Structure 1
Amino acid sequence: MSHARISSLSRCPTHQFSKQTETQLTLLAGLGVEGDAHCGEKVKHRSRVAANPDQPNLRQVHLIHAELLDELNGQGFTVAPGDLGENILTRGIPLLDLPTGTRLRLGEHAEIEFTGLRNPCAQIENFQKGLLAAVLGRAEDGSLIRKGGVMAVVLSGGVIQSGDAIQITLPAEPHRPLEKV
């Protein structure tokens, strides 16, 4: 997976569904993406804040694999980087197949750790009709497959840029599959 790279970066200072693309972002240890509405030690997603504002923020950074955008655009949707609210768009990494606790080294200094899967909500359907169903699937055993990306926390901060290499470190076994967070 030496070809694993950051394809695009995005952030938004307010709680909007889509985010604006940027050439670089600063990741802050224990907080998330500097200047993004979801940056903070405690949960920032509005529905989760309403339920319990003291929850730890396990959704500091949202990653989506660029291959998902390729798939959606191939199905007739029009989805560009940042449109689905991700902070980091990757290419060359099977994000959804990696276990909880996977660490990614982004660029020279930043490191993040996967906490779980993004659970696509109704906002994605409001963005484009039919998109919610397109980012959900069923496994052979009937279980739900969530394709809407992976959530992570920032272990060590740093500046990251589009095109930066990504190094993957798997956690110790036994691996735990990603679950919605």
Structure 2
Amino acid sequence: MARIIAVCRSDQKGTKKQNIEEGFLREDFGLVGDAHADCCTHRQVSLLAIESIDKMRNLGLDVGPGDFAENLTIEGLDLMSLPVGARVSVGEEVILEITQIGKECHVGCAIFRQVGKCIMPKEGVFSRVIRGGTVKVGDCVEIKSLADKTRRLSIWRVTQQGRSSVDDTVVREFSLTIVLNGQELVTLLCSPADLEYLTAGYLLSQALIVDKDDIRKMVVGVGEGVAWVETVRSVDVSVRPVLASSGAKDAVCHTIPKVNAKPETKVSTHQVSRLMKDFMQKSKVFKDTGGVHSAALCDTAGILVFSEDIGRHNAIDKVFGRCLLEDIITENRLMVTSGRVSSEILLKVARRNVPILVSKAAPTDLGVKLADDLGVTLVGFARGRAMNVYSHDWRIVADE
């Protein structure tokens, strides 16, 4: 497990920093008391691996943490391999987003004069503070998401005019194994972002947990591709009832009550059309690649929680996982999805007491039957001002 070796600060730029062992990172600012902290820069907190410093020591230089003006000296994490946009957690509170790898070296800077060589231009990593909090020596450092959801590849494009070499953008695929109470549960093929939400949402959709208080501990190791979860109560995963399908090999089919929604939970056809338009414009990854599904929790005013993934089940699990972990209410709201509405998708939505499910795609016959049985208004082929309403149409009202 990667950890903090030093927390370093200086009151002037271009000089060595001193290890203060503990400090406070303010959101969208940086390390309080440090000269580089600034709300107007994307280089709020600098990171350097102790392994990089060790290379300088092996060359005979008498250097240590802070000598290259880094704020956080880290052991056990390949910082240079992180893409811009990746997020890392530090300790219990802090989230940093990587914004830059390396930097332009200032000619004749004080560090170069004092040390004789500077490694920050090539091996320093810079970040901004997404969520603030206290950091101290010994804190664990974990990759939360790689955030680099796409990859550029050289391909051959073939047309009637012939073939040509071009660059194309493809979506990234990631493998996440969930280990529950020491037992390997499942390996999900997914997009490499929001993996905590995916883990929580998957456990919720499989009825392995009921609320976030069921989770004693959850650690997502993006580098290892593993999410370790401990629950308060023991869970026997071997007795889960399953319903085989084309989209999810182990989707659970528990008996669940009908959706208990307020009678006034209704939406106009205009609101459905507007939500779907906003929804379709939300995913940049889909626009770039055409390779992901999207899901969103909404109210009649707009989108509340949005997620995307290479899998339609994963996208919905990420939405509900975030709602679970961040105490976002799902009852009496709408779910919008880009994918086919199968029975498993319908069950996920009904279990969270969401009364209206809207998709731009088609439902299956069992999806329609379950929607009718469980009191869910199911809307499919929502495109432009047209849509098909398959069940409980009274919640879809005409425009005034």
Q: Normalized against structure 1, the TM-score is what?
A: 0.76
- Encode CA deviations 1:45-94: one digit per residue, 9 max, x unaligned: xxxxxxxxxxxx01100000000111100011111111110000000000
SS of the residue corresponding to residue 146 of structure 1 reads: helix
Judge conservation of contact 2:84–2:148 (CA < 8 Å) in 1: no
Aligned position for 1:51 = none
Identify which of 95, 101, 106 aligns with 1:121.
Answer: 106
Counterpart residue type for residue 173 of structure 1: K
| % identical equivalent positions | 31
Is 1:152 the counterpart of 2:133? The answer is no
Q: How does 1:94-113 map to 2 (within 5 A)?
A: 94-113=78-97
Aligned position for 2:3 = 5
Distance 1:175 1:10 in 2: 35
Counterpart residue type for residue 121 of structure 1: H
Q: Which has the higher strand share?
A: 2
Aligned position for 1:164 = 139
Aligned-pair RMSD on alpha carbons? 1.8
Counterpart residue type for residue 30 of structure 2: G
Number of corresponding residues: 148
Q: Which has the higher helix share?
A: 2
Is 1:63 the counterpart of 2:47? The answer is yes
Judge conservation of contact 2:86–2:148 (CA < 8 Å) in 1: no
Counterpart residue type for residue 149 of structure 2: E
Distance 1:175 1:154 in 2: 25
Give structure 2 stretches of 5+ with no counterpart.
153-400
Identify which of 86, 93, 99 aligns with 2:77.
Answer: 93
Q: Given the superposition, is the C-alpha separation of residues 67 and 175 from structure 1 closer, same or farther in structure 2, using an over 3 Å criterion?
A: farther
Judge conservation of contact 1:99–1:175 (CA < 8 Å) in 2: no
Q: Given the superposition, is the C-alpha separation of residues 11 and 175 from structure 1 closer, same or farther in structure 2, using an over 3 Å criterion?
A: farther
Query: Structure 1 residue 96: deviation in Å?
Result: 0.6
Query: Structure 1 residue 146: deviation in Å?
Result: 1.3
Q: How does 1:7-26 map to 2 (within 5 A)?
A: 7-26=5-24
Q: Normalized against structure 2, the TM-score is what?
A: 0.35
Give structure 1 stretches of 5+ with no counterpart.
43-56, 137-144, 177-181
Identify which of 27, 30, 33 aligns with 1:29.
Answer: 27
